[in-house]
């Protein structure tokens, strides 16, 4: 029988290594929002170019989700994530050295590819080493690490820019990624972690997921609503605050910091209170529904200036922190053996949506300014209005119940 002392010892051996990777992953996802003014000025790029550059992270991340599931099963999470973090380090180095849009976009795509396993590898490792009743708390711990990473990409990065410059920031993160990769390789490897599966079996498994009505209940909302939030948080929040509200870059970074802090509070809430609420009739699905509905209301309030940004943007972050509940709720509709594939399948549509929308928002703003004759402030408002309509439609689709099959 495994004692509590054994669990604590194993926790300190495994969790910090995987948390470090996800911390860096989330920080890299969000950092371009703060350095956007420098990138646009130094590289002389448009809003569409900035959107394409930054969204390359999501493209590299999302497209690797399907092979990632097979690699995690075949080689184990420790080896896969450690190797990919070195890819991310090379991407950071290329980004720091780049002098034109194409080189920086390639570096950004390599970063996305390199950190694509950080969350899924931790899920798999924890399922191998810990009993199932401890997994929700462990998952929440990783999400908290991600929230801290988002915090680090706001005010701390803004404060570091005068000392290091944006290139120095990426050189520093490249070094940290190499250290995190080495840290992971000191972790124990689970016996029997590798699992051989033929390509044909892989395709059939994915086909059963992508043809399932349960999956398509969650996928559109994940793509357009969650992906849209990731696109805004990762890039367009700061330009919106500067162009629409006239905030300085420092003031916008402070709002981004508050939004990340609210997300962190939401992750902690799910970790500590979701079980308590479920026992009292407040299901995780209800929390997810309320969170997504509230997010749409807050976006409308941001669009119409119903309150000060320092109140609305943190509330938006808090609302979207409940969106991660979708992974466990979707997984519950499938056999346990498919859980890894289900998570990566949903991750694929979320990150493809984030890629398309992060690029598309910039292109739409440019189009409204150039072809529509709008000011940048009104162009941002028009773009968010179109996105909000699409997100409302996916939320309405999500509300349509699906009959659950037994497994």
What separation in angstroms does the CA of 164 have from each of 100, 152, 157, 161, 167? 20, 15, 9, 5, 7
Least trusted range by pLDDT, from 130-139, 144-153, 354-363, 397-406: 130-139
**16-38 burial code (b ≥16 CB/10 A, e <16):** ebbbbbbbbbbbbbbbbbbbbbe
Q: Which pLDDT value is given to residue 193?
A: 46
Mean pLDDT of 336-353: 80
Q: Which helix (H) or strand (E) holds 194?
A: none
Q: How far is CA 316 from the centre of its chain?
A: 15
b/e burial code for range 113-149 (CB count within 10 A of at least 16 → b): bbbbbbbbbbbbbbbbbbeeeeeeebbbbbbbbbbbb
CB 254 within 8 A of CB 155: yes
Q: pLDDT tier at 198 (50, 70, 90 boundaries)?
A: low
Instruction: Mark 345-361 as b/e (b = at least 16 C-beta within 10 Å).
Output: bbbbbbbbbbbbbbbbb
**Beta carbons within 10 angstroms of residue 100's beta carbon:** 9
Cα–Cα distance, 114 to 25 (Å, whole number): 9
231-242 per-position pLDDT tens digit: 898 888 988 999
Buried b (16+ CB within 10 A) or exposed e, 173-203: bbebbbebbebbeebeebeebeeeeeeeebe
Measured distance CA(192)–CA(74) in Å, rounded? 10
The pLDDT of residue 372 is 81
Residue 84 has pLDDT above 60, yes or no: yes
Q: What is the model's pLDDT at position 159?
A: 87
Instruction: Please report where in the chains the tokens 């990632």 appear, as a residue.
Output: 68
Better-scored residue on pLDDT, 134 or 399? 399
Is residue 27 within 8 A of residue 149, CB to CB? The reply is yes
Residue 233 DSSP code? I
404: pLDDT strictly greater than 60:
no
Q: Give the DSSP H or E segment for 187.
A: none
Note if the pTM is more than 0.75. Answer: yes
pLDDT in tens, 8-28: 777 788 888 889 999 999 899
What's residue 191's pLDDT? Answer: 58
Supply the mean pLDDT for the chain.
86
Handedness of CA 272, 273, 279, 285 (dihedral sign): negative
pLDDT, mean of residues 126-140: 70
pLDDT band for position 343 (cuts 50, 70, 90) = confident
For residue 107, pLDDT beyond 50:
yes
pLDDT tens digits, 260-303: 889 889 888 887 777 788 788 888 889 999 999 999 999 999 99
Q: Which H, E and C letters describe 286-340, residue by residue?
A: HHHHHHHHHHHHHHHHHHHCCCCHHHHHHHHHHHHHHHHHHHHHHHCCCCHHHHH
H-helix segments, 186-283? 199-210, 213-221, 227-231, 237-245, 249-278
Res 332 pLDDT > 90: no
Share above pLDDT 90 across residues of the chain, in percent, rounded to a whole number: 38
Nearest-Å Rg of the Cα atoms of the chain is 21
The average pLDDT across 62-89 equals 87
pLDDT for res 90: 97
- For every residue of 51-102, DSSP letters joined together read HHHHHHHHHHHHHTHHHHHHHHHHH-HHHHHHHHHHHHHHHHHHHHH--SHH
The answer to whether 269 touches 319, Cβ cutoff 8 Å, is: no
Q: How many CB atoms lie within 10 A of CB 279?
A: 8
Confidence of residue 407 (pLDDT cuts 50, 70, 90): very low
User: 162 and 38 in contact (C-beta within 8 Å)?
Assistant: no
Q: Percent of the chain scored above 70 by pLDDT?
A: 92
Q: How many C-beta atoms surround the C-beta of residue 42 within 10 A?
A: 13
More confident call, 402 vs 396: 396
What confidence tens digit (pLDDT) does each residue in 163-191 have? Answer: 998 899 999 999 999 999 998 888 777 65
Q: Which stretches does DSSP call E strand in 340-391?
A: none
With bands split at pLDDT 50, 70 and 90, how would you rate the model's confidence at 202?
low
Question: Which pairs from 303-309 meet CB under 8 Å and 24+ separation?
Answer: 303/381, 303/384, 303/385, 303/388, 309/241, 309/245, 309/247, 309/255
> What is the rounded end-to-end Cα distance, in angstroms, of the chain?
30
As a whole number of angstroms, the distance between CA 19 and CA 148 comes to: 10
């Amino acid at each position: 029988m495994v004692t509590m002392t054994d669990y604590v010892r194993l926790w300190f051996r495994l969790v910090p290594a995987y948390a470090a990777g996800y911390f860096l992953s989330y920080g890299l996802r969000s950092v371009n929002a703060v350095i956007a003014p420098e990138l646009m000025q130094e590289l002389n790029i448009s809003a569409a170019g900035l959107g394409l550059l930054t969204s390359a992270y999501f493209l590299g991340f999302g497209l690797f989700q399907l092979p990632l599931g097979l690699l995690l099963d075949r080689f184990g999470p420790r080896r896969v994530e450690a190797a990919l973090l070195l890819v991310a380090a090379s991407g950071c180095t290329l980004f720091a050295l780049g002098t034109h849009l194409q080189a920086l976009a390639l570096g950004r795509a390599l970063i996305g590819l390199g950190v694509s396993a950080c969350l899924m590898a931790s899920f798999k490792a924890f399922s191998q080493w810990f009993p199932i009743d401890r997994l929700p708390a462990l998952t929440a711990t990783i999400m908290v690490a991600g929230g801290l990473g988002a915090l680090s990409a706001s005010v701390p990065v803004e404060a570091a820019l005068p000392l290091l410059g944006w290139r120095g920031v990426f050189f520093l993160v490249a070094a940290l990624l190499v250290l995190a990769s080495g840290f992971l390789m000191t972790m124990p490897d689970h016996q029997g972690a590798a699992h051989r599966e033929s390509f044909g079996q892989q395709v059939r498994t994915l086909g059963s997921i992508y043809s399932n009505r349960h999956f398509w209940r969650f996928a559109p909302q994940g793509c357009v609503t969650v992906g849209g939030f990731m696109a805004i948080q990762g890039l367009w929040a700061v330009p919106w605050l500067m162009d629409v509200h006239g905030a300085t870059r420092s003031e916008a970074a402070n709002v981004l910091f508050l939004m990340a802090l609210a997300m962190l509070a939401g992750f902690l809430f799910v970790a500590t209170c979701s079980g308590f609420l479920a026992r009292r009739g407040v299901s995780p699905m209800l929390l997810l529904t309320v969170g997504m509905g509230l997010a749409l209301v807050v976006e409308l309030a941001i669009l119409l200036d119903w309150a000060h940004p320092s109140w609305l943007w943190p509330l938006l972050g808090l609302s979207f922190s409940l969106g991660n509940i979708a992974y466990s709720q979707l997984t519950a509709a499938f056999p346990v053996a498919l859980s890894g594939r289900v998570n990566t399948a949903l991750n694929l549509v979320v990150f493809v949506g984030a890629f398309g929308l992060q690029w598309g928002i910039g292109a739409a703003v440019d189009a409204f300014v150039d072809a529509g004759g709008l000011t940048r402030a009104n162009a941002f408002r028009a773009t968010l209005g179109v996105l909000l309509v699409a997100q409302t439609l996916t939320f309405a689709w999500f509300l349509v119940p699906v009959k659950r099959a037994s497994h």
